[in-house]
């Protein structure tokens, strides 16, 4: 695991407007979040980006981890974010979006809003349901990372995708999707028009399932799945900062 695979925190102290909790995707690590985090830091926000259990290592290590462990790390990171004393938003890419939605279902009162990039909530792969059985005869399959339109950028992921961990990811979706109505926080969604990992219809299912009154959506025309490293990255960064600024103004208006 290299240094840029590690989790990172940007603490601006009392000058920070709010804190963003950033969650990376399946088989990836915080490196895919770092440009986003650096932009938000420079825009006046604290940032915490945890490394989920089993990630940033070999696929064999990831295979031994579960969605409950990934969620537990994000849940603990939320406590770390709250300890900074500023309003907390959560943002996630792909599975990071799934986990952020689960966080909003269970701890929505601790969140000021969500920013989701190509979030996943179901799997349209025809044989995905076989993963629990296949893991014993086919421990891993080809890597799913680096779905990028930019030809000169690579996402840091495990060399292969462990089927056991993928089966656990599907269980996360199974518990999260039926409870989407528990999500009531403001929501900002970015969805790539062309995504070879997560079907764009996932975003539509999420929008239809949540009870958030404030939902903003943007279709990314130039980026594939890992949009935080792709052509539309700056758009995601600037629009997410603007979204948080708007929510903070509205919150102050309510409490003034």
Distance CA 114, CA 256 (A): 23
Among residues 94, 84, 83, the alpha carbon closest in space to that of 41 is found at 84
Catalytic residue, candidates 94, 98, 140, 168: 94
Q: Which helix (H) or strand (E) holds 173?
A: helix 163-176
Q: Is 195 assigned a catalytic role? A: yes
Catalytic residue, candidates 110, 123, 195, 230: 195
Distance CA 132, CA 4 (A): 32
**126 CA to centre of own chain:** 24
Catalytic residue, candidates 100, 123, 212, 225: 225
Q: Tell me what percent of the chain is helix, strand and coil, each rounded to the nearest 5.
A: 45, 15, 40
Three-class DSSP category at 161: strand
Three-class DSSP category at 192: strand
Distance CA 252, CA 242 (A): 15
Contact 144, 224 (CB under 8 A): no
Among residues 34, 91, 32, 30, the alpha carbon closest in space to that of 55 is found at 30
Q: Is 11 assigned a catalytic role? A: no
Q: Is 94 assigned a catalytic role? A: yes
Distance CA 222, CA 212 (A): 28
Distance CA 156, CA 37 (A): 16
Distance CA 241, CA 2 (A): 28
Task: Please give the positions annotated as active site.
Answer: 94, 195, 225
């Amino acid at each position: 695991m290299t240094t840029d695979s590690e989790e990172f925190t940007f603490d601006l102290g009392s000058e920070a407007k709010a804190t963003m909790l950033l969650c990376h995707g399946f088989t990836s690590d915080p490196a895919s979040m770092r440009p986003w985090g650096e932009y938000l830091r420079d825009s006046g926000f604290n940032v915490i980006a945890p490394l989920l259990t089993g990630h940033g290592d070999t696929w064999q290590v990831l295979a031994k981890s579960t969605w409950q462990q990934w969620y537990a790390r994000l849940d603990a990171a939320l406590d770390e974010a709250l300890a900074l004393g500023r309003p907390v938003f959560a943002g996630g890419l792909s599975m990071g979006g799934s986990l952020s939605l689960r966080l909003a279902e269970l701890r929505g009162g601790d969140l000021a809003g969500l920013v989701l990039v190509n979030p996943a909530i179901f799997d349209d792969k025809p044989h995905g349901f076989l993963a629990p059985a296949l893991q014993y005869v086919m421990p891993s399959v080809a890597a799913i990372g680096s779905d990028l339109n930019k030809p000169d950028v690579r996402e840091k992921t495990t060399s292969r995708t462990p089927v056991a961990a993928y089966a656990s990811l599907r269980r996360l979706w199974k518990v999260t999707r039926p409870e989407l109505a528990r999500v009531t926080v403001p929501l900002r969604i970015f969805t790539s028009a062309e995504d070879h990992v997560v079907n764009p219809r996932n975003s539509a299912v999420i929008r239809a399932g949540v009870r958030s009154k404030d939902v903003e959506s943007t279709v990314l025309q130039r980026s594939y799945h890992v949009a935080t490293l792709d052509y539309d990255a700056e758009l995601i960064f600037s629009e997410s900062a603007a979204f948080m600024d708007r929510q903070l103004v509205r919150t102050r208006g309510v409490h003034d």
